[in-house]
Amino acid sequence: MTEDVADIIQPLSILAEDEQLFRASVREFAEAQIRPLVREMDEQAKIPRALIDKLFDLGVMGIEIPEAFGGAAGRFFHSVLAVEEISRVDPSIGVLVDVQNTLAINALLRFGNDDIKRRWLPRLAAGTVGAYALSEAGSGSDAFALTSKARDDGDAYVLNGRKLWITNGNEADLFIIFATVNPEAGYKGITAFLVERGAAGFTIGKKEDKLGIRASSTCELILDECRVPKSHVLGEVGKGYKTAIETLNEGRIGIGAQMIGLARGALDHAIAYTKERKQFGKAVAEFQGVQFQLARAAAELEAARLTVYNAARLRDAGRPFLTEAAICKILSSEVAERVASLAVNLFGGNGFVKEYPVEKLYRDAKIGQIYEGTSNLQLQTIARQILS
């Protein structure tokens, strides 16, 4: 191969220099600042505000926000790297960072007008956590069956309804809330609104008690005659379905990143433990049966990571990535569950107790197959493409 060709071809797994530096700084932060808190956060089902402030200081809470608004002016791929590295240590913090960047900020960058960008992007870069509220009790996979209503009332819309399962509900100060201005119009009535914590008629309801990612808050939101100025409409009235579809298509690459990070964390723990633990007079990792299990996990993880990086690179290149995003999410979440399960097995009894880290990762892995479109919905997207 000539030198020229080597310059043109960019292997997926080779990171640019800025990406390598960024990943190293996030990994260092995750080890030093997040690792010591993981168990306590899981037990208390809470993320300390001091840690969130440190995430803002690190620059991972406003990755794609332009410098003019105080952000890091990074690419989507940087968000993927941040979510992956953080989730390697704690997938709960991974999803906080993921929702902030790939859903909340992404939606404002893509659909916000100049006024909205000027008002909120500097805050989102500097300390305001965002949340993204689409789901309701009756509308999950069938997201556009939502029933929260927005009534036109002069210079404002008046919102009524309930949202369920909203990540960052406890920490967020800015909520992107989807409601319909016209239930008869079906999905064409759906509109996205920006609602601030503390707005009259807007309260945070019950917080879910979950199997995994316990430190990440998942809350109900209650809208009771909540007046939202018309200047807080994100994108066009009646085009909220477009905002939701487009941001979620990108968001699920972030969940892929969360899952490959989780799998990497579980594999690292399993490798370290089996090299240390002795049975039959030697380290457990010296048994070929164990080596093959670890090797298979590493192979599956590499394959899943490449699908995530490919989807993210396609997105940054402005190329279509819908099917690739669905593929990366389903593969990564299944690999995460398998690798975390293997880690539990290889820790033996210690895999089953909270004193060791892998039972938590096993619990955390399950969510990857549920949120931002269940596995069946990803399969539906892939099937549509291959059968069209």
Ligand X SMILES: Cc1cc2nc3c(=O)[nH]c(=O)nc-3n(C[C@H](O)[C@H](O)[C@H](O)COP(=O)(O)OP(=O)(O)OC[C@H]3O[C@@H](n4cnc5c(N)ncnc54)[C@H](O)[C@@H]3O)c2cc1C
Q: What residue ranges bind ligand X (CB under 6 A)?
A: 99, 132-135, 140-141, 165-167, 210, 218, 367, 370-374, 376-377, 380
Sequence-separated (6 or more) residues with CB below 8 Å from residue 224: 160, 201, 202, 203
Beta bridge partners of 132: 176
326 vs 78, 310, 379, 383, CA distance in Å?
A: 19, 12, 7, 10
- CB of 377 vs ligand X, minimal distance in Å: 6
- CB of 296 vs ligand X, minimal distance in Å: 27
Q: Is 248 left (phi over 0), alpha (psi -120 to 50) or beta?
A: alpha
**Given the residues 250, 324, 359, 372, the one annotated as active site:** 372
Task: For the chain, report the end-to-end CA distance as a whole number of angstroms.
Answer: 38
By beta carbon distance, the residue nearest ligand X is 140
Question: Beta strand 218-229 with 202-207: parallel, antiparallel or unpaired?
Answer: antiparallel
- CB of 167 vs ligand X, minimal distance in Å: 3
- CB of 80 vs ligand X, minimal distance in Å: 18
Return the number of the residue (112 or 373) whose C-beta is nearest ligand X: 373
Whether residue 176 contacts residue 236, with contact meaning beta carbons closer than 8 Å, is answered with: no
Return the number of the residue (160 or 374) whose C-beta is nearest ligand X: 374
Q: Tally Cβ neighbours within 10 Å of residue 64.
A: 22
Q: DSSP string spanning 203-220?
A: EEEEEP--SS-TTS-EEE
Return the number of the residue (67 or 142) whose C-beta is nearest ligand X: 142
Beta bridge partners of 156: 153, 229
DSSP state of 375: H
Return the number of the residue (147 or 293) whose C-beta is nearest ligand X: 147
Q: Tally Cβ neighbours within 10 Å of residue 338.
A: 17
By three-state DSSP, how is residue 168 classified? coil
Return the number of the residue (109 or 129) whose C-beta is nearest ligand X: 129
- CB of 216 vs ligand X, minimal distance in Å: 7
- CB of 352 vs ligand X, minimal distance in Å: 23
- CB of 210 vs ligand X, minimal distance in Å: 6
Return the number of the residue (132 or 356) whose C-beta is nearest ligand X: 132
Helix, strand and coil content of the chain, in percent to the nearest 5, comes to 60, 15, 25
Q: How far apart are CA 186 and CA 200, in angstroms?
A: 28
Whether residue 95 contacts residue 258, with contact meaning beta carbons closer than 8 Å, is answered with: yes
Question: Beta strand 282-283 with 278-279: parallel, antiparallel or unpaired?
Answer: antiparallel
Return the number of the residue (324 or 364) whose C-beta is nearest ligand X: 364
372 among known catalytic residues: yes
Residue linked to tokens 């060709």: 5
Two tokens at 42? 């899981």
**Residues labelled as active-site residues:** 372
